[in-house]
């Protein structure tokens, strides 16, 4: 794990580094809703569509990659990470 990310996640006392904030986390809500929508689309594709198996797998993989990207962006927003740290995560 990247040392900067580790330092952001944990205090040296072992507790989470959480700062109290009174605002509504709109970015997190948007990311959560987008993830739910992508999951519902993937489930409908697998269960209710008449597509061939290859197309179903392709669509589900594409949706999974998009969802992973959204969650990574939400992680960067919540931790205020810089682009250098995101590239060290492997992206």
Q: Which residues contact 18 (CB under 8 A, 6 or more apart)?
A: none
Is the pLDDT assigned to residue 86 strictly greater than 70?
no
pLDDT of residue 7: 57
Angle between helices 26-48 and 53-79 (to 10 degrees): 170
Looking at residue 28, its pLDDT comes to 78
* Mean pLDDT on 14-20: 54
Give the global pTM.
Answer: 0.59
Q: What is the pLDDT of residues 25-84, one digit of tens each?
A: 777 788 889 999 999 999 999 999 888 999 999 999 999 999 998 888 777 766 665 555
């Amino acid at each position: 794990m990247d040392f900067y990310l580790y330092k952001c996640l944990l205090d040296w006392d072992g507790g989470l580094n959480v700062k109290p904030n009174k605002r509504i986390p709109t970015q997190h809500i948007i990311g959560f809703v987008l993830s739910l929508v992508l999951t519902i689309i993937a489930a409908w594709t697998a269960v209710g569509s008449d597509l061939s198996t290859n197309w179903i797998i392709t669509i589900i993989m594409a949706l999974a990659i998009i969802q992973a990207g959204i969650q990574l962006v939400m992680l960067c927003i919540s931790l205020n990470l810089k682009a250098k740290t995101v590239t060290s995560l492997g992206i």
